[in-house]
Structure formats: structure tokens, C-alpha cells
Structure 1
Amino acid sequence: MTSSTSCHHKKKYQYDVFLSFSGEDTRKTFVDHLYAALDQQGICIFKDDERLEKGKPINDDLLQSIEDSRIYIIVFSKRYASSSWCLNELLKIMECHKRDGHTSFPVFYDVDPSEVRKQSGSVGEAFATHKNKNESEVGKWREALQEAANLSGWDVRKTADGHEAKVIKLIVQQVSLELRPIDNIIDENLIGMEQRMQDLDSCLQIGLDDVRMIGIKGMGGGGKTTLARAIFDKISNNFEGKSFVENVRERASQSGLKKLQKQVLRDVFKDNSITIHGVLEGKNLMKKKLYGKKIIVVLDDVDHKDQLEMLAGDLAWFKPGSRIIITTRDEQVLKAHRVKWICDVNLLSKEEAIFLFSRHAFGKGILAQEYERYSHKFVSYAAGLPLTIKVLGSNLCGKDVSEWRDALERLKTIPLKETLKILELSYENLEDDHKEIFLDVACFLRGWEKYDAIRMLESCGFYAKNGLRVLEQKSLITTLEHSYGPYIQMHDHLVEMGKNIVRREHADEPNRHSRLWVQEEIERVLASDLGTKATRCIKLKITPDIVLEHLGNVKKLRCLIVKYWDDANRVKIDEARQYFPNSLQYLRWRHYPHWCLPKTFEADNLVALEMSHSKIKQLWEGGKVMKKLKFLFLDSTKLRSLDLGLTPNLERLHLECCFDLVKLYVHGGCLKSLVYLNLSGCRSLKSCLFIEQLQSLEVLHIGTLNLREFPDYTLTGHTINSLLELHLSGSDIKKSSRKHL
């Protein structure tokens, strides 16, 4: 005996459906069409194609196949009851139906259900051929026929006006629904998927008769593919055709888009003979053929708009009711393809993460008591990333507590390789300048206010606004809103990846790293005078061991951030021993301890100087022109006077709460570029007549000033025609000065 099977998915049972039928009546007609329709839906079917010789007993293999099937379809026809083989199949089917709860569907083909139930009419005539058989056996057959005929099924002659194709479609739909709790149930290890799927219901709107493309975006390892697969498995039975195309980015680069086009067409039409000779031919063929079926297609891990153009070019390609789901790390790919519905995939909550970790580490969702403390630490390290949680749990499964402890210690210095490999794909696809911005964010700028970060990056020569937007579109950073304004956030593992990229080529030689942020390494490099041209950015704290004069050898340093430290005032920094390399473009040192900048600092390339809350009284001793300086932050300092003729290209000047500021020197023609000026709280400043020279000024803060001289005509708009904001809160300026605003 031979059998044909079609298995596309791993099942709890070996077969989804066992077909019982009389070959003489239906093998080449109804059953053949039913088998093809079930197979087209990816349903795994057992269909006995060659009966043994008449009178031979049913064998053990066939009985086991019945046991190993989830659903039984019994096609009753005129000669079905004449076959002892069929009747013994039916006995076994009804036994499993009653004992194990298997689902059984009777289909009455060219016979009436009552004829099967009562063994009358043509069924009775067929059954009469067993009159010489053992009465006990015949009695069991009668009972099985009666039980099966009483089940809910389909009478082909009385369903869908007798149209067999429509009846078969109804059968396939019902079988698919019946299988869904087995095939499409959310895997118990896919924690949190049910809620995330519900969140996408408003985008999917399966009941609507329109075509929708839905984008799922998020960082690598965040669960996009898992979510898309769960949705696909749950709803694919509602469609006439389906295709899940995994790893589009990787496969397109390796094999080309032609192969992926062929996969979609073959999946949807269940036709492995479809061939494509070129990508444009494939595009035209897809456009022509896909409109004929309501389909669901998942395009997983797309990273370029050309991939979408060739695989899902336009909504008009698809029949109404179709759904195209696209997963990507790059939101811009979706926007470029005019995808209307774009959803972020949410990382796991702490509770979900613990449950998922426990599943992989212990095989259950409950923490083992002796491992609980370490489990929480591993989950904290994973920071909600499903990929990391699964890898950690699987790696720790079966290991004892001491091995868990060692693994945790290792993570403090050696990142998880599997996670970094997935995440770094996003980094590798960046342009070179965007890579530099990413590394600056990872090493220094996470948690900064967005506009502060933009200022730092622009000072160093980057197109910061566009660069940060690209990183956000590629799910490498997020912008979070706060009461004081938006700030930049980056996932812990992306920070870890960025720092690993900086360190890995010269792990034991920090002086050769492009960025330095580890205090002990900075102190060692500077103390040993090992600074090199390789280092571009440094973030340090003032400690007794810091040797600032050796910054002189860091000749390509563009960014220096001196972090405020509570004990910094206890550390005495010799003013004469300070050294800032002339390459510096961005200098941020809040609580700077000296009254002016060191004479050794040429500042020819300085673009931004931020020294808020410092003891500084004047910028230079004597004076020095800084032609490149655009941003000057000296708020809450001891500043007494400032010659703005030394900063002719300044764009933003922050001097709020400089209580000792008496005079600002403005020479004719300077400060043509100044767009922002904040003098709030400068209570010793008595005159603002210089404001009339600021022709580009857009924002002016002069609250809480006690001004004796303020140019009324300036505010009429005749002089400053660019002013957009004027902040006067708490000032003593007379009402007459405001009447023309």
C-alpha cells in the first residue's frame, strides 16, 4: 500500500486530515478535488491511494495513520458501505472520535444522510453484501454508520445548490478553522504576542474589503518577525493565498529579488512550475496574476525601497481584501513606499521578560527559587529585547548557580555575541557620517536633550538634524518627549554595541580608540602622555589623577566634555597646566573653576563653548577673535563684561542669570548672525541699546531686567524685522515700550 501526503508545517499530529472514501465512487472526482483544495491550504492529508485486495484485513500502519490524524473526513457514497475496508476505517475513526475527541466530518456524496443512518436505499444495498459476515462485526459497522451520519457535515446535493466546488470551499474553510487552535495558537514561548497582535487589529481590519500595506518597525531582535509570523498564522486562513517571505534583506543580496518573486507566486498559487527569467518580468507577472486572489503576504526584514517595488509594487496589484505586512528596521523604507499604516513593535515588559526567560532557562514560566536573584539580573541586562532573553535563557539552561554567576560577570565586560551580530546589521548599512553620529550618541549623547545633542554634533561638522532623523527611522534611537523638551534615548544593547565597535579593534590600547569615556582609561592615557591623533571625543571627570596638559598630544580631538562632579571643587587644577588642543570644536565644561580660558588655547576651530555655572569672569585675558564660534553658553557665571566683537559669527548667546554682567560691547556690523539672545536675570545690565544692531535676531529674552535704556523703535519692527519671540516676563520695561508690538 502507498499513500500520498502533503506536510508543510510541523503538527502535533502526523496528519491534519485523514480522508476515508470509496475509491470506486470518488477517487478521481470529488475526493481528488477535495484533496487538491486542502493541499493548497498547506493542510497535511493522509489519502489511501491504493486499496489492498478485496477481503484482505486492514493493516496496522493504516490504523496508526488514523490515530495520528487530527481530523477525519468521511466521504459517504453509494458503494462506501460495500467495502469492509472502509467500514473498518470507520470503526477506528469513531473509536478515536469518542475516546480522544478527534473531530469527524461526514460528507454525503450522492447519498442521503438518512440512507447512511438507516442503511437504506443504495447504502442499504451496498451494506447487504456483508450478510454472510459475523453478526457481531456487522452490528458494530451498523452502529458506526449511524453515529457518523448523526454528526454535523455536508450533504453535497443540498449544499450551495449542489455546486461541488463551492461545497469543497466550505469544507476547506471549516477544516482550516478547526485546525487553527492547533496550528495558529500563539506558541506558549511567544510571551506577550497576543496583546501585540490585538494592538494591530485596527490597522489590519480583516473584515474591510480594501487593500492594506501594514509596516511593523523596530530595532533588530525586538520581535518584529515573531509578531508578523504570529499574525500570519492566526489570520492566513481568511485568505485565498498566502506567502511568508523571510529575511528579504539577506536573501535579496545573496540570490536577488527574482527568487523571492518566484516564491511569492509559487506560494500563492501552489504551483512549483512557475518560472521567472528576470526581475522586471517577475514584477509584471506578479502585477498581472496577484489581482486574481485575496492574499496575505509577509515581507520580512525589508531594508530598501526597491525590494518593495519589485515584491509589492502598488496597492493596485492586489485583489480587494488583501493584506501585505512588512517588517523593517528602517521607517523611511515604508514611507518611501507610501505605506499608510506603520506600527512600532513594543519591547517586553519586565513581567513578560521574566516569563520568557524562565521558559527558556527552566522549561516553565516559573522561576526556580535559588536562581531568582540572578534571573532578574539577566532580564535587567536584556532590557526587554526578546532575542537577548531567549539566547540568555537557552545558554543558561541546565547550568548550576555558579555558572550563572560567572556568566553574569562575563556580561559586564564581554557583550552577548548573538545579540550584537543581529544589531550590527543596522549599523553596517549606515553612511559613514551617520555611523559617526551613532557612535557619538552611543558613547556620549544618550539622555541628552535633543537640541543640545544637535548643537554638539553640528559643532563637530555633522548634519545633525538629518543624521538623527536617519538613526530614528532605522530604529537605532528614539526621541522621547519631556516637559522640558525632547531628548534622545537609545536601547542599552545598542549603546553596548556602539561602545564595542569603538573598542574592539584595539581592546587593550585605549589611546587608539576614537572615543574615550572610561575614567580609569582616560586617567591612564593622560598620565602616561599616550594620547594620539586617533581620539576624537573625550568625556571625563575632574579627579586628582587627571593630567590635563597632556591633552596636547590628542591633536585631532574635536569634542571635550568635562562632566560635573560633586567633589570637583576639591580638586585644584593648575590654571597654567591646562591645555586644550586647537582642534577642539566643542568644549563643554560646566563649573569651570578659573576666571578665564588658558592662554595656550588658540580656539581657532571652536564652534561651541558651554561653561555654565562657572567662575569665569571673562573669556580671555587680553582678547582673542574666535571667528568660528557659533554657540556661547555662559549662563549663571561670574561674567562681568563681554566683547562681542571677538565673536562676529555668533548665532546663540546664553547669558541668563549673569548677575555681575555690567557691559556688553557690540561693534558696528558684528553679530549679524545672532538669532538667539538670553539676558534674563542680568540685573546689573542697564542698557540694551545694542539690540538695534541685531538684524537677524529671532528670539530675545530680557525678563527680570531693570533697564534704563531700551530702544522703543527696535520693537516696532523697523530695525529687527526677523524677531519672532520676545520674552519680557518680570521686566521693568514700561508699557509704552511695548505698545507697537
Structure 2
Amino acid sequence: MESAIGRVSSSPFLPPRSWTYHVFLSFRGQDTRKGFTDHLYASLQRKGITNFRDDMNLERGEVISHELLRAIEESMFAVVVLSPNYASSPWCLDELQKIVECKNNLGLQIVPVFYGVDPCDVRHQKGTFEDAFRKQEERFGGDSEKVKRWRDALIQVAIYSGWDSKNQHEATLVESIAQHVHTRLIPKLPSCIENLFGMASRVEDVTTLMCIGLSDVRFTGIWGMGGVGKTTIARAIYEAIEDQFQISCFLANIRETCETNGILQLQKILGEHIHVSRCTFSNLYDGMRIIRNSLCNKKVLIVLDDVNDVSQLENLAGNQDWFGPGSRVMITTRDMHLLKTHEVCDTYEVECLDKREALRFFCSKAFKRDVPEEGYLEMSHEVVKYTGGLPLALKVLGSYLYGRNVSAWHSAVKKLRSVPDAKILETLRISYDSLDSMQMEIFLDIACFFKGKPKDKVLDLFEKRGYNPQIEIDVLIERSLVTVKQDIDVFKKKFDVLEMHDLLQEMGRNFVIQESPNYPSKRSRLWSPEDLDLMLTQNKGTETIQSIVLPPIGNGTYYVQRWRDKAFPNMSQLKFLNFDFLRAHIHINIPSTLKVLHWELCPLETLPLVDQRYELVEIKISWSNIVQLWHGFKVRLFFLYKFSGALSNSVTLAFKNLASLTYF
């Protein structure tokens, strides 16, 4: 047990210093090396504390006294094991004198352990210590000052707060000392978290959500897209509160570890933190049983970082019954559905930084300061806008641009508009790679065509193209790939709009471009007027194209005569064609596979719908010049959406004869 003497605190006026070791162990080898000190060393090591002890750290042939002195100077703490024969060793007394000097001059923290001795005997140098100093005075009689310095050092150490082995079980004593050092050490360690900037408020929000201090067991989910700062938030909270728990463990990169080594490896890592041998784990069931039995009566803090499968949660943190009162489990993930499945009620969605926060964070990487340097303001704003406030992108691009001149910045910013950064895409695509084939198709369609479009209308289009979109879009939302926001129409009626982060949209479009970088006609989707123009100019085969959508120009303007008298090659797999606002007389061979045709303001008077096998389910040709759609052939299923404009009597009569016609 810790003695009643007050805890030692270093002077707040001492300057910070560099260190190599967390703890310097000072002990009399013949008394404790193979017993108490060895166990204490191992316990500190298990807690991630770097120790120095002379029989483990010194290289053969080096002058031991010089190495010891330097090791003491480069340590944050000194644990002094005062055993019965400690003072009989001049070497130990030299160590002790140096430890006291470093305490006074460098702020070294001293933790005395009275092992098999009475603290009063040490302080007043009685018993074995009296005998030891009598012999030292006989040995160094000509250097009384040396012995006096040793006595003074021993007195100073003996009055500090310490640990007494009397009436203590050694295993309990060792663990108590190691935990005490760990608790005092954590606040002194430099944080691995850099300046949080906009993250500070998010850290505070999650900490509040966790309700630290209450006796219940609480799971907290931190959810968001890749690169948004989930791990940074979890790490900052972990470092701030871990000393309040009996056992703490940060299991990082769970997805990656599972892919390479499986969940059993993660159970073994967690087991090491609760002092369970790796060999104890032979299968997942044993791992679950041992983890639960080891932690059910302990107050623990566990972070499960980057979870991507519910089985990971089931095998590492099954439910609240696994942990003792006051325990907290933090889970970071890109998939909200995992948290719902595991019944994690307290969840926090991490959003991107706002413009002010993003600019400060970017500048900290690009200029090592909070504001842009002169001449870089406009380009800095452009990069920040490109990133959309995503911390990962801000960090990557800021670090890349650091130290470069203005011309290099101009070149880099120009490149960003056409070539996405590989490091950023690598992180973002992890969520995409977890999708099934239909989810991937819908994600790419939204990225290429439907970002910012009303959700209901997009769902309707997907249904008419043969998809089951509701559940698939829900998955995209849960995996932080798509968001839903509310908008208001001209009649002040609210409606949902599909959105996604600009970098996710860029990633999706880049995937499509990479299907055929040089030949747009060999891509599955076309949305760029330039790519469409290139396809027509090259007159290449388009058997791979599934969808063509021209983006709206806005401001009442049209695509005028751009492709006049151009003929589209055979598009045998085309399913969705949107030529809204295209005012060019072009020749289209519409394939029978086409399901949806949109062409507002179409300048043609007729469309070549001549095949009886058409799969069309929607035609939208508002405000067009169409007077005839087909030549007497019945379409299997036909929806007319906002049909307007001049129609001949024959066309009107033909529509009336369609048994499946529905008006919208």
C-alpha cells in the first residue's frame, strides 16, 4: 500500500527536457534482481513503460558508471528499491546521489519502495543501514564528504511518499506500484495527437456522451466517412481518461488486422493487456470466454478502432455483461448499421471541418502556422474548398505543399482538378470496396449523375431500371458514402436530396474514367460533354455504355448545335439516356435495352422507336417538338411523365390505345 506521506510533485518551474527512458530502476542486485525487481520490471513493461536496469540495458565493454549516470539523466522517473543491503553498495549510493541531483535540477520523479526494511530505519539510518554506513566510513575514511553526500541523499529519498512491503502480497505490491507509475506517467507523456483545431469540440461532445464517472457500462460509437477524424477523436479521449480505469486498451486498425491475421489475433492482443498468455487462446470461443471472465469485475476502457464487421464486436466486446461497473467501450466505424446491430445506443457522427477550422488545419501543415503566408491565400482557399473540410485530405495536401514555391503550388492545384490524390483515394475507397455489386452500381450512378437530386425521383429511376434501391441506398448512407439533406422547393415544401462529399464523388467518377482512360466510349457511364464529343468524333463502338446523362447548364442556356448531324454508334447496352437541354439534331439508334429516356426541349419531331422489344418504362420529353414517337408499334410498358408540347391527333390516339399507360 502507498504510505500516508504525501505524493511527490516536481517543481512546476523546471523546464521540459528530453528523455530516453520512462523509468530508471535502482536496486541492490543480490537482494532483489531475480525476485521483486524482476517482477516489477516485467509489470512495467506490460504497461508499455520503458525501463532501464543495469543488467539489461548496458552493452558489454562500456564504462558502466558513465552509462548509468546518463541513463538517470534521461529518465522521467526513478524507482528506488531500498532493500536491506542497498546501502552496502557504493554503486547503489552513487546512483542514489545522482537521482537526487536530477530530481532537484531536472525534475526527475522519485518513487521509493521500502522492500523488507522499515522506512524509519532508512530515514534515520538505523539497523542494516547503520551497519552499512559504518563500513562505508571505514572504507572511505579519507573522503568523509562522499559519505556525507550519500547520507543526505538517502535521507531525502526516505522522506518521500513511498511503498512499504510490510504485510503485502508481493504480486499485489508489484501491480500497485506499476499502476501508480503508469497513472503518474500518462499526463507527462507527449500526446501523439497533433493540434486538434476543429476536433476539440468534437472530443468534448463525445466525452460528454460517454458520461465518464457513472457506474453503468456504456458503449459509444464514433461514426463517419473515411479520413474524417474518428480515430483522432478516440485517441485524444483515450489519452485523456485512461488513467481513470484499471485496465485500458486501444485496439487500432481492427479491419486491417482481421484481414491479415483474423479476429483471434485481436483477442490475443487484448489478452496481453489483461495479462493473459497468448497460448491460452486456441479458438474464438475460448477467447470470448477468457476475456469476459477476466474483465467482468474490472473497470476497463477499450477502444475498438476501425470496426467493419459485427463479428469483431461479438468476439471482442460481446455486451455490457463482459465488463465491470464504470467500464467504457468506444467503437470507431464507417458503418452505422454495425452499431445498430450491436445495440450501441450512444453514437456520434463526425462531420467534416467548417471552412474556418479547415483553413487553420491546412495552414498548420502547409505553413506550420495558423494563417497562409503572403501570396498563398487564394490558393489555400481553393485547396480547402477542394477537400470539403476532410481532415485527411487537408493533412495530405498541406504536407505535400509545405515548403514549395508559388509556381509549384499553381501546378499542384491545377493537377488536383484532374488527378485525385492517390493517398486520399486509398483511404476513401475502403468503404466502396466493402459494397456488393449492386450497391457499387448505385453508388457510381449517384456519383456520376444524381448528386444533389431529389431522393424520391432517384429511387423511382432506379426502380424502373430494375434495382431495389431503398435498401441499397440505406446501406450507402450507413457506410458514410451518401448523405440525405433536406431542401425546400418553390412552394416551400420540404423534400430529401441525395448528397455525397465532393471527394467521394470524385472517387466514383475516377473509377469510371479508369475503366478506359483514353476512350470514353468504352466506359460504363458518360456525363461530360467533352467526353461525349470525343466519342462522337472518334465514332468508336459504345457497347459498354450503360448510361449517358448531360449535366444541366443552368441560367436558361442549352447545348446548342454542338453535335449537329452527328450519328450515335450502336449502344447495345444503353439503359438510361438523358439529353435534357440538348438542342442539336442528332441521329440516335436507340437500343431495345433502353429503360429510361429523358430529353426535355428535344428539337426533333420524331424518335426512332421502331423495335417491338423495347424495355422502356419512362419517357420524359417535356417542352419538346416531338409529334410522333413510333410507327404503330406498341411499347410493352410505357409511362408518360410531364408530357407537353404539340401532338398530332394520331399520336394522341396511339397513346389512348396503350392499356398500361399511366399519367404522372
Give, in whole Å, the separation in 2 of the partners of 1:454 and 1:31. Answer: 68
Alignment of 1:595-606 (within 5 A): 598=607, 600=609, 604-606=614-616
Q: Out of 546, 556, 575, which is 1:558 matched to?
A: 575
- Contact 2:251–2:305 at 8 Å: present in 1 too? yes
Give, in whole Å, the separation in 1 of the partners of 2:204 and 2:256. Answer: 29
1:546 corresponds to 2:552: no
SS of residue paired to 2:515? helix
Q: Out of 515, 525, 535, which is 1:505 matched to?
A: 515
In structure 2, what is the equivalent of residue 415 of structure 1? Answer: 420
1:63 corresponds to 2:41: no
Q: Out of 302, 308, 316, which is 2:307 matched to?
A: 302
| Farther off after superposition, 176-185 or 23-32 | 23-32
In structure 2, what is the equivalent of residue 524 of structure 1? Answer: 534
Give, in whole Å, the separation in 1 of the partners of 2:470 and 2:145. Answer: 86
In structure 2, what is the equivalent of residue 533 of structure 1? Answer: 543
1:252 corresponds to 2:262: no
How far did 1:59 drift? 0.5
Structure 1 residues 330 and 12: alpha-carbon distance in aligned structure 2, compared to 1, 3 A threshold: farther
How far did 1:577 drift? 5.7
In structure 2, what is the equivalent of residue 404 of structure 1? Answer: 409
- Contact 1:480–1:486 at 8 Å: present in 2 too? yes
Give, in whole Å, the separation in 2 of the partners of 1:58 and 1:283. Answer: 47
User: What one-letter code is carried by the residue in structure 2 that aligns with 1:487?
Assistant: V
Alignment of 1:602-613 (within 5 A): 604-611=614-621
Give, in whole Å, the separation in 2 of the partners of 1:192 and 1:616. Answer: 54
Give, in whole Å, the separation in 2 of the partners of 1:131 and 1:650. Answer: 113
In structure 1, what is the equivalent of residue 155 of structure 2? Answer: 146
User: What one-letter code is carried by the residue in structure 1 that aligns with 2:243?
Assistant: N
Q: Out of 227, 235, 241, which is 1:235 matched to?
A: 241
In structure 1, what is the equivalent of residue 182 of structure 2? Answer: 176
Structure 1 residues 168 and 297: alpha-carbon distance in aligned structure 2, compared to 1, 3 A threshold: same
- Contact 2:568–2:589 at 8 Å: present in 1 too? yes
Give, in whole Å, the separation in 2 of the partners of 1:365 and 1:347. Answer: 18
- Contact 1:447–1:489 at 8 Å: present in 2 too? yes
In structure 1, what is the equivalent of residue 638 of structure 2? Answer: 629
- Contact 2:455–2:497 at 8 Å: present in 1 too? yes
In structure 1, what is the equivalent of residue 6 of structure 2? Answer: none
How far did 1:536 drift? 1.5
How far did 1:125 drift? 4.3
Deviations 1:33-69 (A, max 9, x none): 43343233221122334999xxxx9700001110111
SS of residue paired to 1:472? helix
In structure 2, what is the equivalent of residue 369 of structure 1? Answer: 374
Alignment of 1:95-244 (within 5 A): 95-111=101-117, 113-120=119-126, 123-132=129-138, 133=140, 134-155=143-164, 157=166, 168-183=174-189, 185=191, 187-188=193-194, 191-244=197-250
Structure 1 residues 153 and 598: alpha-carbon distance in aligned structure 2, compared to 1, 3 A threshold: same
How far did 1:556 drift? 2.6
Deviations 1:383-423 (A, max 9, x none): 22232223223333443332222222222222111222222
In structure 2, what is the equivalent of residue 3 of structure 1? Answer: none
How far did 1:445 drift? 0.7
Give, in whole Å, the separation in 2 of the partners of 1:137 and 1:417. Answer: 65
User: What one-letter code is carried by the residue in structure 2 that aligns with 1:480?
Assistant: K
Alignment of 1:692-711 (within 5 A): none
In structure 2, what is the equivalent of residue 515 of structure 1? Answer: 525
User: What one-letter code is carried by the residue in structure 1 that aligns with 2:498?
Assistant: I
Bigger relative contact order (CA 8 A; separation at least 6): 2
Structure 1 residues 116 and 351: alpha-carbon distance in aligned structure 2, compared to 1, 3 A threshold: farther
SS of residue paired to 2:545? coil
Q: Out of 41, 65, 89, which is 1:35 matched to?
A: 41
Q: Out of 425, 432, 446, which is 1:427 matched to?
A: 432
In structure 2, what is the equivalent of residue 345 of structure 1? Answer: 350
| Farther off after superposition, 67-76 or 255-264 | 255-264
User: What one-letter code is carried by the residue in structure 2 that aligns with 1:313?
Assistant: G
How far did 1:343 drift? 2.5
Normalised by the length of structure 1, the TM-score is: 0.75
User: What one-letter code is carried by the residue in structure 1 that aligns with 2:185?
Assistant: L
- Contact 2:542–2:571 at 8 Å: present in 1 too? yes
User: What one-letter code is carried by the residue in structure 1 that aligns with 2:535?
Assistant: V
Structure 1 residues 64 and 345: alpha-carbon distance in aligned structure 2, compared to 1, 3 A threshold: same
Structure 1 residues 631 and 240: alpha-carbon distance in aligned structure 2, compared to 1, 3 A threshold: farther
In structure 2, what is the equivalent of residue 699 of structure 1? Answer: none
- Contact 1:66–1:93 at 8 Å: present in 2 too? yes
Give, in whole Å, the separation in 2 of the partners of 1:110 and 1:143. Answer: 21
Matched residues, number:
625
- Contact 2:620–2:643 at 8 Å: present in 1 too? yes
- Segments of 5+ residues of structure 2 without an aligned counterpart are 1-16, 489-493, 551-557
Deviations 1:434-467 (A, max 9, x none): 1110110010111111112112222221111111
In structure 2, what is the equivalent of residue 261 of structure 1? Answer: 267
- Contact 1:527–1:550 at 8 Å: present in 2 too? no
Structure 1 residues 606 and 542: alpha-carbon distance in aligned structure 2, compared to 1, 3 A threshold: farther
SS of residue paired to 1:269? coil
Alignment of 1:638-677 (within 5 A): 645=656, 648-649=659-660, 653-654=663-664
Normalised by the length of structure 2, the TM-score is: 0.83
Structure 1 residues 369 and 124: alpha-carbon distance in aligned structure 2, compared to 1, 3 A threshold: farther
How far did 1:600 drift? 4.3
In structure 2, what is the equivalent of residue 690 of structure 1? Answer: none
Q: CA RMSD in A?
A: 3.6
Structure 1 residues 172 and 184: alpha-carbon distance in aligned structure 2, compared to 1, 3 A threshold: farther
User: What one-letter code is carried by the residue in structure 2 that aligns with 1:346?
Assistant: E
SS of residue paired to 1:261? helix
In structure 1, what is the equivalent of residue 453 of structure 2? Answer: 448
SS of residue paired to 1:19? strand
- Segments of 5+ residues of structure 1 without an aligned counterpart are 1-10, 655-741
- Contact 2:610–2:630 at 8 Å: present in 1 too? no
How far did 1:490 drift? 1.0
Give, in whole Å, the separation in 2 of the partners of 1:439 and 1:51. Answer: 57
- Contact 2:81–2:114 at 8 Å: present in 1 too? yes
Give, in whole Å, the separation in 1 of the partners of 2:111 and 2:391. Answer: 41
- Contact 2:520–2:534 at 8 Å: present in 1 too? no
Give, in whole Å, the separation in 2 of the partners of 1:631 and 1:163. Answer: 85
Structure 1 residues 37 and 577: alpha-carbon distance in aligned structure 2, compared to 1, 3 A threshold: closer
- Contact 2:24–2:51 at 8 Å: present in 1 too? yes
Give, in whole Å, the separation in 2 of the partners of 1:121 and 1:280. Answer: 56
Give, in whole Å, the separation in 1 of the partners of 2:53 and 2:150. Answer: 21
Structure 1 residues 78 and 285: alpha-carbon distance in aligned structure 2, compared to 1, 3 A threshold: closer
User: What one-letter code is carried by the residue in structure 2 that aligns with 1:147?
Assistant: Q
User: What one-letter code is carried by the residue in structure 2 that aligns with 1:443?
Assistant: C
